Amino acid sequence: MANDGPAILVVEDEHPIAELISYSLRGNGWDVRVAGSTADGWKALQESVPNLVLLDWMLPDQSGLRFLNRLRNDAQFRSLPVIMLTARSMEEDKVAGLDSGADDYITKPFSPRELVSRVRAQLRRRAPEHDEKQVVAGIVTLEPASHSVHVSGERVEMTNAEYKLLRYFITHPNRVFSRSDLLDRVWGSDVNVELRTVDVHVLRLRKALGVAEAYVRTVRGVGYLFSHE
């Protein structure tokens, strides 16, 4: 019998790990479905959109990273929270996952308590206040409903990580945030990446904004702020 709590889709081909995940999540009242491949995962998404996806990196038919890119390029699933599960622990792998749109990254082996904590944190962040309202700052317009950004009326392309960073900046203008602040508030304190990753994403965000790049300002020795004034 399914639980009445939030629905979690687990895309994991290793049966013992899938069983451990299912047992841990169901014990917290969450409704869990398991898919052993990206094809089965996509089919499950067509049947019912979950509240969150736990996605293994190494899957039999294609990589979880490719599947994640497919989700982020589909309007229906663009904002769906995704936590990557993987044995790949190198910093560049974590950055690749976050750049592709992962909301968090859990390295195997992990404890059930850590897993539950990460899932709970992402569910809390889902559907933030004013998420569907258009936000305008100078020549920059952010459209949460379509997960898009326009500068002077022209749509600009950016990764999901840069979009999340811009969304936080634009909804908290004229405030200085340190790199650790941004890492905590945009990606979450549990995401284990280095502070310099924030600098990389700020540089990419500025590049994506083009003529509006000056809106993202560096406050020397402190951090960054967003202002169009």
The mean of the pLDDT values for the chain is 85
Percent of the chain with pLDDT over 90: 42
The C-alpha angle 13, 17, 23, rounded to 5 degrees, equals 120
pLDDT over 70 (residue 131): no
**Cβ distance 117 to 190 under 8 Å?**
yes
**Which CATH number does the domain 7-125 belong to among 3.30.365.10, 3.30.465.10, 3.40.50.300, 3.40.50.2300?**
3.40.50.2300
Question: Does 79 or 66 have the greater pLDDT score?
Answer: 66
Q: Look-up: residue for tokens 């979950």?
A: 50
pLDDT over 80 (residue 195): no
pLDDT over 70 (residue 98): yes
**Cβ distance 198 to 109 under 8 Å?**
no
Token pair for 224: 């960054």
CA contacts within 13 A on the Cβ side of 148: 11
First to last CA, the chain: 55
Token pair for 108: 């195997």
The C-alpha angle 131, 181, 155, rounded to 5 degrees, equals 40
Question: Does 31 or 94 have the greater pLDDT score?
Answer: 31
Q: What is the pLDDT of residue 1?
A: 42
- The pTM (predicted TM-score) of the whole model is 0.62
Q: What is the pLDDT of residue 142?
A: 92
Alpha helices in 36-189 (DSSP H): 38-47, 64-72, 91-99, 112-125, 160-171, 179-182
Q: In what order do the strands lie in the sheet with 140-143?
A: 135-137, 140-143, 148-151, 154-156
d(CA 38, CA 72): 14
C-alpha 74 chain-centroid distance:
14
Stretch 181-192: mean pLDDT: 72
Domain ranges of the chain: 7-125, 135-226
In this structure, of 72-81, 83-92, 220-229, the range with the lowest mean pLDDT score is: 83-92
**Cβ distance 53 to 33 under 8 Å?**
no
Q: What is the pLDDT of residue 91?
A: 65
d(CA 37, CA 59): 6
Taking domain 135-226, whether its CATH number is 1.10.10.10 is answered by yes
Question: Does 90 or 10 have the greater pLDDT score?
Answer: 10
Question: Does 89 or 141 have the greater pLDDT score?
Answer: 141
Q: What is the pLDDT of residue 61?
A: 93
Do 7-125 and 135-226 show the same overall fold? Answer: no
Across 24-33, 153-162, 176-185, the highest mean pLDDT is recorded for 24-33
pLDDT over 80 (residue 187): no
Question: Does 197 or 217 have the greater pLDDT score?
Answer: 217
At residue 212, the 3 state secondary structure works out as: helix
pLDDT over 90 (residue 100): no
Stretch 180-204: mean pLDDT: 78
**Cβ distance 162 to 99 under 8 Å?**
no
